[in-house]
Every structure is written in C-alpha cells, then in structure tokens.
C-alpha cells in the first residue's frame, strides 16, 4: 500500500472519494444525458440515425485521444493544473454543442467537448494509484463507481425532462453548467497528490515499460473490450428501446437507470469479493459472465423472445456484470506503475475509449432497424475481452517461467564459478 507524502491527510477521506467519483462521472453524464434526444436530434437537424450515432463515436474518439495527451501532462505538471484546463475546454465544447446548425457540426463539437472531459477520467485513476494499491485500490475504484453510477441513472431521466420542456440544445447548456461548477469545486478542494516528477525517463520509455508488463496488457485489453461492449449497448439502446420497442422518450431513463443500478450493486459486491479472492480470479469470473449474458442478448434479439422485457432483462444482466470488470481491470493494470500512474491511467483509458469508438461506429454502420447490430457487437466485444484476459494470463505465466529459468541458470553459473 502506498501513500502520497504530499497529502497524507487526503487519503481515505469521504470528501476526496466523492470528488473523484464525481469527476469520473463526467463521461457517463456527457454520454448518457443526451441519449433520449438522439431520435429528436436526427429529426431536428434533418439527419439520419446512423449520422447522429456518430456523435457518440466522435465523443469516444475525443475521450481516447485526449487521455493520451493527458497522461504525460499530469505526470509532468501534476494532477490539478491540467484538470483545470480540461474542465474549461469541456465547458466551451458543451456550449458549442448547444449552438450547432448541423449534425456534422455536432459530431465535431462533441469531439472537442470530449477532449476536455477526458482529463476528468485520467486524473481520478492516477490519484487513486497515488494513494492506494492492490485490493485497497480495487475497493476504492468500486466506491468511485458507486458515485459514478448515479450519473447513468439520473442523466437519461434529467435529459428526458430537459428534452420535454426545453429541447435538446438545453441538455448541453446543462452540461456546460455542470462543468463550470465542477471546475469551481476542483479549484477549491482537490489536493495535489502527484509524486515528485523525475525527468530520467522519456514518455516513450515509460510507455514502453507499461506495454511490456503482462499485468497491464491483459487486464487493460480485457477492460477495454468489455467497456466497448458496454458502449455498444449505450449507442444502440436509445433506438432499440425508443424506436424499435416504442418506449416513450421520457421513460427511456427508467430502463437505462435500472441497468445502472445493477452495475452499482455488483460493483459494491466486488468490494467484498476482492477481500477473499485474488483480483485476477474475480476479473476472469466477471468476463465469463459478460460472455454468457451477451450471448443471451443476441439470442433474444434474434428470436424476439419476450419482446421488450426479454431484451431489457438480458441487457440488465450484461451491464450488471460490468460492475466486476472495471474496478479490477484498472487496479491490476495500474498496480506496478506508481511512478508513472498518469501515463498508465491514460493508456488504460485511451485503449478503452478507442475500442468504444470502434464499437459505436460498428453499431451505427450496421444499423438495420433491429436490435441485432447492438447485440452482435456486444457479444463480439465480450468474447474479445475474455480472450484478452486469457492472453494476458499466458503472457504472464511465460514471463514468470522465463524469469525463473534465467534465475536458475544464473545460480548454476555462480555455483560453477564457485
């Protein structure tokens, strides 16, 4: 367990966890709040559903690219100053989204908004690694998910309310206001937790050390693909529920929120599991559940079994299983990288949102008026996540075997020399 010498009093406080969870919630808030408005945006801007769905893909791309830039910055300049700049850009991007004249312009402004919001994803993970490690880090990540999980519950409901009474553009004005309030709180309360910067390693050398670590590569890829399956659901569910099954826009948030409640509940269960089981074992169990439940979504989408409630129940089970994936994948991936937590957090997040951008693009591209594109992409991503974890385990075992063989050879050589 590690503790920052800069801010020993910050470690473990409820206020810090609440603030970090709120920052982590920026991505789901920005993504989920406007989901009920997607069909309305397409109609208002004279565009098609696939084009409007690209606003999600551009958001994911901005979150991925932004994190790649953010990681080296927060390792070099600390956690707080880059966060101030990112939140300011987020506010400007949100205002731009509210003023766009075309769907193509909205795609571009969502990218700008996401670039700013990406900083709020990288910093909390880095701060957690500054202050915690191992199972403690996994438990803290689970508590952050409790705070973060409120966003997917409230965001679609709030978005549906704002859409009903003020139109979809007002949704982005609300997001701009949220960003401004968050910036004010960060300026006032967030401590600096970064360890002293060491200039002995370049960004590429630090990144090289990260990607050579099997305990980073396997969990990061597994978490990234699983997250992509989650975002395939996010991209496809508004049209599946609202357009295909006729759920009113104002009621969509109840279905979406129920799934988020499942994710929160399972994430809190994870806090107990990691006390008794190794993190790797819990992660493999979670990924197996993701594969099984995603196959269930495909079966219901293909057969139409139980209609709306069939798809709702299987989606609930899939999203709930994700509550075991995110905290453990992040904790394992960041464990060995305390001195480069910023760039490790950025690489982890960029990988996740690059996969998410690809998944949402695939859902948009293969949109055929059924639930199958969403279900098929979810299942493909879940299977890739499971395979990535298996690959990481094999790589880890092989590396350990090579290390043991090298140690034995060295010992034998010393004995002969003696």
For residues 154 and 120, what is the distance between their CA atoms, to the nearest angstrom? 19
Least confident of 182-186, 227-231, 322-326, 391-395: 391-395
Band the pLDDT of 201: cuts 50, 70, 90. Answer: low
Can you read off the two tokens belonging to residue 18?
């609440």
Global pTM reads: 0.70
Average pLDDT over residues 158-187: 92
Can you read off the two tokens belonging to residue 145?
């998910």
Can you read off the two tokens belonging to residue 183?
């910036």
For residues 33 and 152, what is the distance between their CA atoms, to the nearest angstrom? 8
How much is the pLDDT for 2? 41
Domain ranges for the chain:
15-191+202-397
Band the pLDDT of 7: cuts 50, 70, 90. Answer: very low
Q: Which H or E run includes 35?
A: none
According to DSSP, residue 102 is labeled S
pLDDT digits (tens, 9 = 90+) for 21-32: 889 888 888 888
How much is the pLDDT for 197? 63
How much is the pLDDT for 319? 93
Q: Within its chain, how far is the Cα of 362 from the centroid? A: 18
Structural fold of domain 15-191+202-397: Growth Hormone; Chain: A; (1.20.1250)
**What one-character-per-residue DSSP string does 204-241 give?**
HHHHHHHHT-HHHHHHHHHHHHHHHHHHHHHHHHHIII
Greater confidence (348 vs 86) lies with: 86
For residues 93 and 89, what is the distance between their CA atoms, to the nearest angstrom? 6
151, 52 Cβ separation under 8 angstroms:
no
Average pLDDT over residues 263-273: 86
């Amino acid at each position: 367990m590690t503790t920052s010498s800069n801010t020993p009093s910050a470690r473990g406080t409820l206020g810090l966890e609440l603030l970090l969870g709120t920052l982590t919630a920026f991505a789901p808030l920005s993504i989920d709040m406007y989901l009920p408005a997607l069909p309305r945006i397409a109609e208002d801007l004279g565009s098609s559903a696939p084009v409007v769905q690209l606003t999600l893909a551009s958001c994911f791309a901005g979150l991925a690219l932004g994190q790649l830039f953010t990681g080296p910055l927060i390792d070099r300049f600390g956690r707080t100053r880059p966060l101030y700049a990112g939140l300011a850009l987020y506010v400007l991007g949100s205002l731009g989204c509210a003023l766009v004249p075309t769907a193509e312009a909205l795609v571009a402004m969502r990218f700008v908004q996401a670039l700013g919001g990406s900083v709020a994803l990288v910093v909390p993970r880095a701060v957690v690694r500054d202050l915690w490690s191992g199972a403690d880090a996994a438990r803290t990540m689970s508590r952050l998910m409790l705070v973060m999980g409120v966003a997917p519950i409230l965001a679609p409901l709030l978005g549906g309310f704002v859409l009903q009474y003020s139109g979809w553009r007002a949704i982005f004005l609300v997001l701009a206001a949220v960003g401004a309030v968050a910036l004010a709180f960060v300026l006032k309360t967030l401590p600096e937790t970064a360890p002293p910067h060491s200039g002995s390693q370049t960004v590429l050398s630090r990144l090289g050390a990260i990607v050579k670590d099997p305990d980073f590569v396997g969990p990061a890829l597994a978490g990234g693909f699983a997250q992509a399956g989650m975002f395939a659901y996010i991209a496809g569910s508004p049209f599946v529920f609202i357009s295909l099954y006729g759920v009113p826009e104002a009621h969509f948030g109840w279905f979406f929120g129920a799934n988020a409640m499942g994710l929160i509940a399972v994430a809190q269960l994870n806090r107990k599991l990691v006390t008794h089981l190794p993190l790797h074992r819990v992660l493999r169990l979670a990924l197996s559940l993701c594969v099984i439940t995603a196959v269930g979504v495909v079966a219901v989408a293909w057969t139409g079994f139980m209609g709306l409630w069939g798809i709702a129940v299987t989606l609930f089970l899939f999203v709930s299983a994700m509550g075991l994936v995110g905290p453990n994948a992040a904790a394992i991936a960041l464990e060995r990288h305390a001195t480069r937590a910023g760039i490790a957090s950025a690489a982890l997040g960029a990988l996740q949102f690059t996969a998410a951008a690809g998944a949402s693009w695939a859902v948009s591209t293969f949109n055929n008026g059924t639930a199958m594109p969403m279900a098929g992409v979810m299942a493909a991503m879940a299977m890739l996540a499971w395979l990535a974890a298996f690959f990481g385990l094999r790589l880890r075992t092989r590396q350990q075997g090579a290390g043991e063989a090298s140690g034995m050879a060295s010992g034998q050589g010393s004995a002969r020399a003696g």
